Amino acid sequence: MNTIDVLPEVPSSFWMDSTETTDFPQLTEDIKVDTAIIGGGIVGITTAYLLKQAGLSVAVLDADRILQGTTAHTTSKLTSQHSIIYSKIKKHMSKELARQYSEANQYAIDMVDRIRQEKGIDCDFVRLPAFTYTESSQYIEQIEEEVEVARSLGIKASYQEEIPLPFSVKAAVRFDDQAQFHCLKFLKKLAADIPGQNSHIFENSKAINIQDGNPLTVVTDSGPKVKASKIVIASHYPFFDGGGFYFARLYLERSYIIAATIQEDFPEAHFISAEDPGRSLRYTPSKYGRLVLFGGEHHKTGHGTDTNKHYKNLIDFANQHYQLDKIYYRWSTHDCMTTDGVPYVGNLTSRSPHIYVATGFGKWGMSNGIASAKILSDLITTGDNPWAQVYSPSRFLTSASALKTFVGMNLSVAEKYISGKLESGESDVDISKGEARIIDIDGQRIGAYRDAEGTMHMVDTTCTHLGCELSWNDAEKSWDCPCHGSRFTYEGEIVEGPAINKIQHAQGEPNEVEARIFS
């Protein structure tokens, strides 16, 4: 069997590459709308679309271009099967809340299907089964329990010992009536319907604060403000905490995807492993033919050492089971994780009746994102939604396992904060092209990266969110925060929050600073 191991040099999302870039205006003057929505991903765009359909005026603000963040770096599976989830919700919350979760996510699949048919959106939508499988005997009992609970909730679930993959498994749960789609083809059509009738989408318009009052005010970095009766924070990680302590209840994970053509036929289904290392497989049509997306390799953001190894592991897995033709794309994603595995969707806090949030989708942002938009639009227009309870951000620690995750997560943050402050940089280093190091200049930790042209880029490695020390991500060429997941380019610009301020360049001209390193 031939081995294909050549990765594209630069990470690139298939979903972005196969759709046109948006070009909405920047906010340049104060405006007033019924609802301001911060973040132009799947939640922000879908919520804005639903609210406008309900007759409200909306303004979507995005710090960059819409639909270029986490939404554009998904696997775009549209499924109510989220690995092993329903037995956990039933055990740690209740069967009723498990039912709410299943109904919300199955509704999301049907809602996308209905809208794309009504609007004639060609988004590669297809119904198919979804499998969670295991190659380990220790997960058989969990899969059996998941099948039993899912069936009791009305889900079309079945237990299987064989699935259409080129390797044997110990057990699998199959959900029927699931789906996959091209998320950006769908969402960009919804976005096109939002502007007009005092509704807007503003790109390159970063929100930096929310001011209390009646109405509320969204403050942007360039000065103009948006006044609104309601505000939805859909910025992936909440840019505004409002006393909700989300920094203590969320952690961020990175995972990786390669997209390749293969010589074999790939089945009409998608798959995910129950155990680590995580493996996710699905196909999508493309101009190159049928692409297979191999995903997995998750780790906490900023905690990886050689991040390129995760792509290599996916390549090794793909080569082990398939005859690859060519790897066309590689990208990674940035997922917000909650302590109990269920997103936070609803009022930001119990003291914030007019500010809403949607975050913490884990690996399942497509169905949960659509469901969240429905929940938020219902809460804003009618004050209620049948699934609001299970997603409520006001829940805190619902079980011993959630408490354990919470304690472990925050101990890890404290450890990374302290160890980062104690670690000193190197004082005498030779940095090659494409390489980054933490160096010490007069007692200050500086992140130094030499690009392919030989130019040195040096920044302060202190995260502007809560002051943790950044780590270098070699696969993505970024400085990542191990505490709360903020990411910055090697020039200091924000890639992903919760940080809202860029990191500073090292003091002095680059040549002068570089000369001091080797003096």
Using the predicted structure, report yes or no on whether residue 483 has a pLDDT greater than 50.
yes
Contact by Cβ (8 Å): 219, 56 = no
pLDDT of residue 450: 87
Q: Report the Cα–Cα distance between both ends of the chain, in Å, rounded.
A: 53
Is it the case that residue 441 has pLDDT exceeding 90?
no
pLDDT at 476: 75
Confidence bin at 47 (pLDDT 50/70/90) = very high
Quick check: 118 pLDDT over 80?
Answer: yes
pLDDT score of 412 more than 50? no
The per-residue pLDDT for range 302-319, each reduced to its tens digit, is 445 567 889 999 999 999
Q: What pLDDT is attached to residue 305?
A: 56
* pLDDT tens sequence across 215-266: 999 999 999 999 999 999 999 999 998 988 888 888 888 899 999 999 999 9
Structural contact between residues 247 and 498, judged by C-beta atoms closer than 8 angstroms: yes
Decide: 44 and 232 in contact? Cβ < 8 Å. Answer: yes
Taking residues 73-87, report their average pLDDT. Answer: 97
- Model pLDDT, residue 413: 43
DSSP class of residue 126 equals: E
Domains and CATH numbers, the chain: 19-73+185-245+341-399 (3.50.50.60), 436-517 (2.102.10.10)
* Least reliable range by pLDDT among 31-35, 88-92, 461-465: 461-465
Across 196-311, the runs of DSSP E, i.e. the strands, are 200-202, 207-211, 216-220, 225-233, 250-262, 270-273, 279-284, 291-300
* Selection from 157, 107, 127, 158 nearest residue 370 by Cα: 107
Q: Which residue, among 153, 101, 38, has the nearest Cα to 388 in the 3D structure?
A: 101
Above 50 in pLDDT, residue 322? yes
**Mean pLDDT over residues 51-64, rounded?**
97
Q: Concatenated DSSP letters for 386-448?
A: TTHHHH-TT----SHHHHHHHHHHHHHHHHHHHHHHH---BSS--PPTT-EEEEEETTEEEEE
CB 321 within 8 A of CB 7: no
Q: Of 8-12, 98-102, 228-232, 265-269, where does mean pLDDT reach its minimum?
A: 8-12
CA distance linking residue 164 with residue 267, whole number of Å: 7
Give the per-residue pLDDT at 421: 42
Give the residue, 510 or 360, on which the prediction is more confident: 360
Region 97-113: what's the mean pLDDT?
98
pLDDT at 197 (0 to 100)? 96
Top pLDDT among 161 and 471 is at 161
- Name residues whose C-beta falls within 8 Å of residue 512's C-beta, 6 or more positions apart in sequence: none
Listed in sequence order, the DSSP H helices in 28-80 are 42-53
Rounded CA-CA distance 116/133 in Å is: 30
Backbone angles phi, psi at 40, to 5 degrees: -110, 45
Tell me the pLDDT tens digit for each residue of 375-385: 999 999 999 99
pLDDT of residue 498: 79
pLDDT number for residue 510: 45
- pLDDT above 60 (res 509): no
What does the DSSP 8-state code read for residue 55? T
Give the span between the Cα atoms of 230 and 217, in whole angstroms.
Answer: 9
Given a cut of 90, whether residue 502 has pLDDT beyond it is: no
Q: Is the pLDDT of residue 444 over 80?
A: no
Burial category of 15 from C-beta neighbours within 10 Å (exposed 0-12, middle 13-18, buried 19 and up): buried
Q: Is the peptide bond preceding residue 285 cis, with omega within 30 degrees of 0? A: no
Stronger pLDDT, 465 or 119, i.e. the higher one = 119
Cα–Cα distance, 393 to 347 (Å, whole number): 7
Give the dihedral sign, CA 391/394/395/397: positive
- The H or E element that residue 31 is part of is strand 31-38
Q: How far apart are CA 117 and CA 278, in angstroms?
A: 34
Show contacts of 284-290: CB within 8 Å, 24+ apart: 284/14, 284/76, 284/124, 284/180, 284/182, 284/259, 285/124, 286/14, 286/18, 286/259, 286/328, 287/18, 288/261, 288/326, 288/328, 289/261, 290/261, 290/262, 290/266
The predicted structure's pLDDT at residue 33: 98
Confidence label for 501 from pLDDT (cuts 50, 70 and 90): confident
Mean pLDDT over 158-172 rounds to 97
Q: Give which of 193, 304, 239 is closest to 486, Cα–Cα.
A: 239
Beta bridge partners of 220: 207
What is the pLDDT of the chain when averaged over all its residues? 88
pLDDT at 397 exceeding the cut of 70: no
Backbone angles phi, psi at 143, to 5 degrees: -70, -40
pLDDT class of 43 with cuts at 50, 70, 90: very high
What is the pLDDT, as a whole number, of residue 304? Answer: 55
Residue 515, beta-bridge partner list: none
